[in-house]
């Protein structure tokens, strides 16, 4: 394998990783439907669950324990505000070349959740939708 071929493979792997990390971050930071829970509302519900656990039957206890775990997980995720700026900058650098090489159109990027503003910064046009 030539040096140029090895470099092209390494560049492709790096571009793929940048695109994957950005798309995964978009997916995990996507707003959920419905009313957003506040830390205070999560704490209130956790307190209510704690008081209900003492008198709950076995099946209700199971469901309450699961809800308690889910709420604790949600509360800890809420403390981790995701900063997408670094991932977005890296995505913008590589998205055009990656998309051209893989045949990914503007419409497909949009369907994957990438904003029009980010695609414009990456110089990906609607010409090939």
Tens of pLDDT, residues 15-56: 999 999 999 888 877 766 777 788 899 999 999 999 999 999
Identify whether the C-beta of residue 31 lies closer than 8 Å to the C-beta of residue 68. Answer: no
Q: How far apart are CA 116 and CA 118, in angstroms?
A: 5
Three-state SS letters, 48-81:
HHHHHHCCCCHHHHHHHHHHHHHHHHHHHHHCCC
Spell out the residues 6+ positions from residue 68 whose beta carbon is closer than 8 angstroms to its own.
Answer: 46, 49, 50, 53
Q: Which of 96, 114, 101, 106 is nearest to 21 (CA)?
A: 114
Confidence label for 69 from pLDDT (cuts 50, 70 and 90): very high
Note the pLDDT of residue 128.
Answer: 52
Q: Please compute, for residue 108, the number of CA atoms within 13 A of its CA located in the half-sphere on the CB side.
A: 10
What's the average model confidence in pLDDT over 80-97?
Answer: 85
Confidence band of 66 (pLDDT split at 50, 70, 90): very high
Instruction: Kindly report the pTM of this predicted structure.
Output: 0.61
Q: Which residue has the higher pLDDT, 110 or 74?
A: 110
Question: What is the model's pLDDT at position 120?
Answer: 94
How far apart (Å, rounded) are the C-alpha atoms in residues 63 and 53?
10
Q: What pLDDT is attached to residue 51?
A: 95
Percent of residues, the chain, with pLDDT higher than 70: 93
């Amino acid at each position: 394998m030539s040096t140029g071929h090895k470099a092209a493979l390494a560049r492709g792997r790096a571009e793929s990783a940048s695109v994957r990390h950005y798309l995964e971050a978009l997916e995990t930071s996507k707003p959920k439907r419905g009313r957003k829970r506040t830390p205070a509302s999560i704490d209130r519900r956790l307190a209510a669950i704690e008081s209900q656990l003492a008198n709950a039957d076995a099946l209700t206890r199971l469901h309450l324990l699961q809800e308690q775990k889910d709420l604790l997980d949600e509360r800890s995720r809420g403390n981790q505000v995701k900063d997408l700026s670094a991932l977005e900058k890296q995505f913008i650098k590589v998205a055009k070349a990656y998309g051209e090489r893989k045949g990914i159109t503007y419409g497909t990027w949009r369907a994957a959740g990438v904003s029009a503003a980010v695609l414009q910064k990456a110089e990906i046009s609607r010409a090939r939708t």
